[in-house]
Amino acid sequence: MADKLRANNPRLDGHRILLGCHRGDRAHFPENTMPAFRAAVELGLDAIETDVRMTKDGHLVLIHDRDVERTTNGKGLVDEMTLAEIKALDAGFWKGKEFKGVQIPTVEEFLELVSPTHTVINWELKEYPMDFGRERAFATIDKLASLLDQYGMAEKSIMNSFSEQNLEYCAEKWPGKFVLHGYLDYIRPKDHAARPQESFLDWAAIWRKDEEQPAGFAEDYAYAAEQEILPCILVPDTEEMYQKALDLGCRMFTSDDPAAAQSILRRLGAI
């Protein structure tokens, strides 16, 4: 099951530690923008995580929040705005005056950057069936899959979602085509699939943490291993946190400060 899927891209089979960034290099650049993505590519990271939403007129754009207010100079919901309205927003000024005028990118703009590279893309599918209905949620996935075929990126793509139904849709429509990433023990799942998510997941984020177990619980890592699911995590970019996660069995880190994370993992001899 999982071994066959991962065989499409040997880099994702868990044989070595991977490092990705969270919405690009968001420590130094506006998140989910082309400057943040270019910086990640220049660092030579294994992966970039980003968030996919669909505009009112059916274009795919990269932005985490449904409401544009936090990361732009505008207000409103992505799904109620046209691409022209989205492109009129300033998505960089809040990070610094040097980023004034930076736009929200389309998936196509991002693919033009990453498709010539070896970078794996971790696409977080943000259109949830419970919020938008299955038709729109799955249409968003279909559009993304079509673009990945167009740019030759299917084998370098991870489909990631808090929606089990989104991931089950990918597993059933394109068996073995995409690596699938979900969340173990997420306390507020967006929805549930018709079958256990363990039957189709390849990777899963270790989500359950507390003050005493900031890198996750050993039993969650053990459960992932039992289910042949590879564990990944996002923790503070410190040597202590990374060593704890490595000791527990983490195989991929997603970082908010990828340059710092890269240095940490090199000092620890993990990459």
Residues that are catalytic: 22, 64
Q: Are 266 and 246 in contact (CB under 8 A)?
A: no
- Amino acid identity of 121? I
Please state the length of the chain. 271
Contact at 8 Å (CB) between 204 and 232? yes
76 conformational bin, left if phi > 0, alpha if psi -120 to 50, beta if neither: left
CA distances (Å), origin 262, targets 25, 110, 119, 234, 267: 12, 23, 15, 14, 9
Nearest Cα to Cα of residue 201 among 244, 232, 242: 232
DSSP notation for 100-142:
TTPPPPBHHHHHHHHTTS--EEEEEE---HHHH-HHHHHHHHH
Instruction: Please enumerate in sequence order all residues whose Cβ is within 8 A of that of 110, keeping only pairs 6 or more positions apart, or say none.
Output: 34, 37, 50, 62, 121
